[in-house]
Amino acid sequence: MTMARTHIEGGSKAVDASTTAADTNGFGKVTLVVLASASSASVAVTVGDTATTDTTPTTTLIDPATGLPAVTTGLAKGAYVFSYIGDRRFIKAVGTSATVTVLLSEPRDSRPE
């Protein structure tokens, strides 16, 4: 049996958020890595304040290369990276003809300004 590595150097971690919402508490950066296995792949993302995320996507996903809102439907076969911008604690990402991994990184700074 092979164990998947879920922790990355520096206190970051990778999460499969397709069945259980990822808890972003303590992390300042949320990145979605998408591997589309077929043309017309899509990603449905929901967020919420509890592990039961809202049924309607209320997230803002940004393409970090352009800084513009990300398109998550009609994706061609290939790899994509999206950044989540928002204040919800839990995020769930389900791909159709795509695998989505949520990367949580950069410990959130809790010091007062």
| Torsion on CA atoms 112, 88, 27, 20, rounded to nearest 10 | 150
pLDDT digits (tens, 9 = 90+) for 21-78: 999 998 889 999 999 999 899 998 888 888 888 766 656 788 888 888 888 889 999 9
**Kindly report the CA angle at 32 between 23 and 66, in degrees rounded to 5?**
135
The pLDDT assigned to 53 comes to 81
| Torsion on CA atoms 67, 32, 25, 29, rounded to nearest 10 | -40
d(CA 29, CA 18): 19
The pLDDT assigned to 113 comes to 54
